[in-house]
């Protein structure tokens, strides 16, 4: 155990928390203020627990508890990600004492701005996972029969792959990216559930794929078994909203809590797609056309 930090003289007795709330998808957001008792060594999750227990705003109004999400409480699942004091991060690893040093007046909590809000601080990350499907971010093994032991990975490859494998799909890289814009569709009157889902799918499939998926594509393209799908992954990266949509602002790499070298993955994807495009130009273009006719 790490010993708690020594008590400072001027510790506040209460903390003011400003929360951006929203009652449901597509509804108007509104701010609410809460005062909670200060304790040492709190994180934002414990702040949210206190708010839920109290469920009373600063002017004494009883309100429904603020909704939020969390899982691991140790910054490996990504589900507690939100915008804290204007910056996207995990609430489980956002320490209150540290936040108060930056801004002693209040802590500001907002849902991520690039995903549809479900309720309060809960958001819908479907598009993030859809991007992983677009690049087939998995190893194709169906386990019907034993393939024997896997290929041994040279050390350099292990060292290149390990950092990329730490991605927890939190979405920080997407929240901070100026090229990744929010898509929020609502079901129209007279539209069936299937039609709506299909429309959403099409929108998610052509919009910017995001740094996390580009990086995962590079991870699985160097995996001995994952390589089998390398061409399909590059096709996805060369499709609409692929790697070319990145504008090189490099915010993704700056905010990634796992310090994944995202911009290295982006440049590597840039090179791989350059090579693939030249190859397609000289070899594969005829094949592609035939395929299109067949579709």
Binding positions for ligand FES, rule: CB under 6 A:
70-73, 75-80, 90, 92
- Residue 264 interacting with other proteins (CB under 8 A): yes
Residue closer to other proteins, measured from CB, 95 or 254:
254
Piece in contact with other proteins (CB under 8 A), picked from 9-17, 45-53, 219-227, 260-268:
260-268
> Considering the rule CB under 6 A, would residue 171 count as an interface residue with ligand SF4?
yes
Q: Is the separation of the CB atoms in 14 and 35 below 8 Å?
A: yes
Residues in contact with 167: Cβ distance below 8 Å, sequence separation at least 6, in sequence order: 212, 215, 216, 258, 260
The 10 Å Cβ neighbour count of residue 144 is 6
Q: Which of 42, 94, 167, 266 binds other proteins (CB under 8 A)?
A: 266
CA distances from 159 to 23, 29, 270 (A): 45, 44, 21
Cα distance between residue 84 and residue 100, in whole Å: 12
Q: Which residue carries 């009157």 as its tokens?
A: 189
Q: How far is the CB of 49 from ligand FES (least distance, A)?
A: 13
260 binds ligand SF4 (CB under 6 A): yes
Shortest separation between residue 121's beta carbon and ligand FES, angstroms: 12
250 binds ligand SF4 (CB under 6 A): yes
Paired tokens of 26: 């597509």
Minimum distance of ligand FES from residue 44's CB (angstroms): 9
DSSP class per residue in 99-145: HHHH-SS-EEEE--SSS-EEETTEE--HHHHHHHHHTT-S-----SS
Segment near other proteins (CB under 8 A); pick from 7-15, 34-42, 65-73, 244-252: 244-252
Task: Compute the least distance from the CB of residue 174 to ligand SF4, in Å.
Answer: 7
Least separation in angstroms between residue 240's CB and other proteins is 5
- 3-state class of 89 per DSSP? strand
27 binds, among ligand SF4, ligand FES, other proteins, none (CB under 5 to 8 A by kind): none
Cβ at position 168, least distance to ligand FES in Å = 7
Cα–Cα–Cα angle for 24, 131, 163, nearest 5°? 110
Q: How far apart are CA 181 and CA 245, in angstroms?
A: 11
Task: Output the CA torsion sign for 100, 68, 21, 252.
Answer: positive
Q: Which residues bind other proteins (CB under 8 A)?
A: 86-87, 176, 178-179, 181, 194, 197-199, 201-202, 205-206, 238-242, 244-251, 253-255, 261, 263-264, 266-274, 277, 295
Q: Which residues bind ligand SF4 (CB under 6 A)?
A: 78, 167-173, 177-179, 211-212, 215, 246-252, 256-258, 260, 262-263, 266
């Amino acid at each position: 155990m790490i010993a708690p930090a020594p008590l400072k003289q001027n510790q506040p007795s209460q903390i003011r928390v400003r929360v951006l709330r929203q009652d449901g998808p597509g509804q108007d957001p509104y701010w609410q203020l809460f005062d909670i008792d200060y304790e040492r060594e709190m994180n934002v999750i414990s702040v949210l627990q206190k708010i839920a227990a109290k469920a009373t705003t600063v002017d004494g109004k009883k309100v429904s508890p603020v909704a939020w999400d969390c899982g691991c409480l140790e910054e490996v699942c990504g589900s507690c990600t939100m915008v804290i004091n204007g910056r996207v991060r995990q609430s489980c690893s956002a320490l209150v004492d540290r936040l108060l040093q930056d801004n002693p007046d209040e802590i500001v909590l907002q849902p991520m701005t690039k995903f549809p809000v479900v309720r309060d601080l809960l958001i819908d990350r479907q598009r993030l996972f859809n991007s992983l499907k677009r690049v087939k971010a998995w190893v194709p093994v169906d386990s019907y029969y034993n393939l024997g032991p896997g290929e041994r990975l040279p050390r350099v490859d292990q060292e290149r792959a390990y950092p990329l494998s730490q991605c927890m799909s939190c979405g920080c890289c997407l929240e901070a990216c100026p090229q990744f814009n929010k898509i929020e569709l609502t079901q129209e009157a007279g539209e069936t559930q299937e039609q709506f889902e299909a429309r959403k799918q099409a929108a998610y499939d052509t919009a910017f794929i995001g740094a996390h998926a580009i990086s995962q594509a590079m991870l699985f393209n160097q995996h001995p078994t994952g390589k089998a799908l390398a061409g399909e992954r590059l096709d996805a990266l060369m499709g609409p909203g692929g790697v070319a949509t990145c504008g090189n602002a490099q915010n993704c790499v700056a905010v990634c809590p796992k310090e994944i070298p995202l911009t290295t993955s982006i440049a590597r994807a840039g090179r791989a797609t350059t090579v693939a495009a030249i190859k397609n130009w000289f070899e594969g273009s005829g094949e592609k056309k035939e395929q299109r006719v067949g579709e």
